[in-house]
Chains A and B, each alone.
Chain A
Amino acid sequence: MPETPPTSLIHARGLTKRFGGFVAVDAIDFDVARGESFGFLGPNGAGKTSTMRMIGCVSPISDGTLRVMGMNPATHGPQIRANLGVVPQQDTLDLELTVRENLAIYGRYFGLSRAEVGRRADELLEFAQLTERANDQVEPLSGGMKRRLTIARSLINEPTVLLLDEPTTGLDPQARHLLWDRLYRLKQRGVTLVLTTHYMDEAEQLCDRLVVMDKARIVAEGSPRELIERYSTREVTELRFAPGIAETLDGQLEGIAERVEHLPDRILLYAEDGEAAAVEVHQRGLKPETVLVRRSSLEDVFLRLTGRSLID
């Protein structure tokens, strides 16, 4: 059965998705290894969700090769789905049922016995910190709680691979951190995570390796650290000038940093030593309103690769 190396749980070559004349995913290649935490980073419309749906065997591929756990989604969709956990972009919970009923009925979809489903539901409620809400209806729960329930639900079949499509989009910072903590624990347990995100901090927190997608293609691949080293500098100095000033700075920032990026609201100086760059700015007599020295992030990588911000 395994046509791919046993370590490669997901294997894609020339993977393509077309909707009529529109190419949503354009011949991408990637491999996800067992136990790895793999991310698709990119702006909305980059093709991340289409890729996830093909991996999830709910959207047939248009071209190329895709193997999930060594199986072909076209012929073994149900077998693959039996071993996947899916956290879709939008929650698909039954709002009329209770928290516990949602977990239990989902377990039944996988053919688990009622006793087994009950046992796992209790564990997962604990894991998702929802035990106290077990018998409450889902409808009034907060966004963060619903998300945690969706993640708990996706684990009911003890999946080999967990697919998370924008797991924390729309959540407040506290809810996001709680969710990241739960996902980190799963990763520690050896669950293979595949996630899409347009948050660089999320990708940096959770991904061992990621691909950057833009306009249906993969434009870079590596660990967050590798990508930052390859496409950015160690530090970034962000300058904000009073309105109208930034446009008059032509050439005055030359040579201070390896690269200077003009954004609508600020100027980014890519330098190994951000503090030194900031000092140099002041020595040249420039008076930015604010100066922020920070470590380089995946946002900078994305900007470098595409010339655009990740979130517009």
Chain B
Amino acid sequence: MTSLAHPASTIGRVFEHRFLQYRRTFRSSIFSSFLSPVLFLTAMGLGLGAYVSDSSAVGGVSYLVFLAPGLLAATAMQTGSSEASFPIMGGLVWNKIFHAMYATPISPRDIALGNLAWIAARLTLIATTFTIVIVLFGAAESPLIVLAIPAAILTGMAFAGPMAAFAATQKTPNRFASIFRFGITPLFLFSGTFFPISSLPAALQAFAWLTPLFHGVALTRGLSLGTITDDPFAAAIHVIYLTTLATVGAWLTIRNFQRRLVRG
């Protein structure tokens, strides 16, 4: 009889499958994860930033320095939510590979966790590349920028967890378009990435404060500018908020994978 392995290794096998799929597009993916921040920082940071004359509004630094860490967090949000939407639903509905996995000793829990681990790995790659580009642009003010990598990964997972939990309940991709259009895109624009939320009307400021991207941007920016040490309490709130979302999302993802696979 075949003996059973430790759960950590069964999660690893799910991860391995996702890696095998990714290997096909590895080169173009690496290239675009490098190119995308270069283009954004050039066009918006340097190009558009040249017109931003009032540096006091953005913390007394150049617009490029202000923008770069915000874009890092926003990119992590977009990667986390897109990697957790179509690929999760697709594995359950389109090619049914998660059903194939469940026919083996791998449990629904491990399938869910293996996928989340894969998304974390993708985020690590993208956040690291992005951070290197920021440093190359001379847009990092503090060595703490290194910690912006885990902060961005956490931000991405705060979106990936709930998104994966939702995707695991869907039979078609129809609702993803609305989520991106009415959820992710507004967050991208109004969570402090491009301008401080203090420029928003008071009601919207309160709303922005509730959105996860705001906390992600606050963390990465605080680390890149080195201002995070000014208010450790706020930093702790950001981390707790994002960690809670990521954890609850992961828990719901496991539960929804169980519901979907055990029976369906």
Contacts and interface: CB of A to CB of B under 8 A. Distances in A.
A179 B2 CA distance: 27
Nearest to A93: B95
A178 interface: no
A69 B3 CA distance: 14
Interface size range of chain B in the complex: 20 to 34
Contacts, number: 88
B21 A97 contact: yes
Contacts of B262: 58-60
A111 B106 CA distance: 10
A94 B105 contact: no
B97 A110 contact: no
Interface in B86-133: 95-97, 99-107
B17 A95 contact: no
A101 interface: yes
A56 B13 contact: no
Contacts of B104: 81-82, 106, 109-110, 157
Nearest to A101: B20
B1 interface: yes
A65 interface: no
A160 B1 CA distance: 8
B103 A82 contact: no
A82 B4 contact: yes
B179 to A, nearest CB: 24
A72 B262 CA distance: 16
Interface of B: 1-5, 9-10, 13, 16-17, 20-21, 24, 95-97, 99-107, 261-263
Given A78-B107, A111-B9, 17 more contacts: A56-B103, A58-B99, A59-B262, A81-B103, A82-B3, A82-B104, A83-B1, A84-B103, A86-B103, A97-B21, A101-B20, A105-B20, A106-B104, A109-B10, A111-B2, A111-B5, A111-B13
27 contacts: A56-B103, A77-B107, A78-B105, A79-B4, A79-B105, A81-B103, A82-B3, A82-B105, A90-B96, A92-B96, A92-B99, A93-B97, A94-B21, A94-B95, A96-B95, A97-B21, A105-B20, A108-B13, A108-B17, A110-B2, A110-B104, A110-B105, A111-B3, A111-B4, A111-B105, A157-B2, A157-B104
